[in-house]
Structure 1
């Protein structure tokens, strides 16, 4: 899938679940539960033990899922993830060399930034989308809306503080898509054998995105 298609898929789904788990098998089970709810975009963080293996297996076994690498802090890690099948690269911070590496492979790159200066620096360096993290620490959707006012051309994905309760507010503020963590990736439910809880939450998020777009159309 080329970079333009990757970004358009991300925009259409409207959601980028941040997948964290303490084993490869648990990560795979979470990925399946999220995908069963119709969310076919996943960010596998490098904090997952065996994260590369998870990306490799998803790329091979679930070609319908758009798999990205998360918590990528340097260009070497970015390259390793890309070679194993990652189709986009996300970071909680801004590393210019990582952006350069992703450009070399024509892979979508979403570096993290928080202040307006950091966001503009990331955008000017070639970020396809800027991850605003941690969004909740700066006031959530109100902060995103304030940043988008002078920077409407910059695509932003808020992460941190996004939930079913706040999703519509973030979309209204101008989010390109929503970075969702613990509110969707429910480890307690998974450990209790209730994968359907994660699947149902994924469906709720998709419905929120659908309703928002229908209203804006």
Structure 2
């Protein structure tokens, strides 16, 4: 039941912040600023040094059980390449796992523990293979290789596929991705690059607010 609830929370929230940084402390600060701006689904990538420490710190502060609460957020792990890393992130507190590609052992481990897993895929064959392993949502990656029309194109043969484009999604095209049928969207460097360049992390909060406003406008009436 928790897995179903988490998947619904990701869909309802609509925007996943994909966070990379130079340290656990930096990426935890990024997450805090994104949450302040209204993005409540946070993916901490395993390219961050001591990334699991950031996940543990954030899950001590933010809880997924009460979507109406002030400290509500769902913290997950990203750029997970293998089952060993996936298990480490779950022990650190991650509530969902995202991979750039489809690794069967990672999917099986997450299914074993009832955790949402969102592997990356690019082709009909990869998406089909993921669904055959029990994947509920496939990360369409890298999204910048496609236009939003790829979603209805893929749903021609695979109408049951839930797809989350990540990479290349921005404020200008978010509405098009949502209108095309995206389950949710992943936002990476566009959310944080200005803050990293200037050292002003309040810019992440401002950008997060803009993304959530754009998502709410795009998603109006989709239910």
Does TM, normalized by the shorter one, top 0.5? yes
Q: CA deviation at 1:46?
A: 0.3
Q: CA deviation at 1:185?
A: 2.3
Contact residue 178 and residue 219 of structure 2 kept, 8 A: no
Contact residue 191 and residue 208 of structure 2 kept, 8 A: yes
Runs of at least 4 residues off by over 4 Å: none
Q: Which residue of 2 aligns with 1:44?
A: 44
Aligned CA distance change for structure 1 residues 51 and 132 (closer, same or farther; 3 Å): same
Structure 2 segments unaligned to the other structure (5+ residues): 64-71
Aligned CA distance change for structure 1 residues 120 and 167 (closer, same or farther; 3 Å): same
Q: CA deviation at 1:191?
A: 5.2
Contact residue 140 and residue 161 of structure 1 kept, 8 A: no
Q: CA deviation at 1:196?
A: 2.4
Counterpart pick for 2:175 among 168, 174, 191: 168
Counterpart pick for 2:138 among 130, 133, 146: 130
The 1-side partners of 2:202 and 2:155 are apart by 36
The 2-side partners of 1:33 and 1:149 are apart by 39
Q: CA deviation at 1:213?
A: 2.3
Q: CA deviation at 1:216?
A: 3.8
The 2-side partners of 1:145 and 1:181 are apart by 23
Q: Which residue of 2 aligns with 1:198?
A: 204
1:66-215 alignment runs, 5 A limit: 66-137=74-145, 139-186=146-193, 188-190=194-196, 192-215=198-221
Alignment length (residue pairs): 215
Structure 1 segments unaligned to the other structure (5+ residues): none
TM-score (norm 1): 0.94
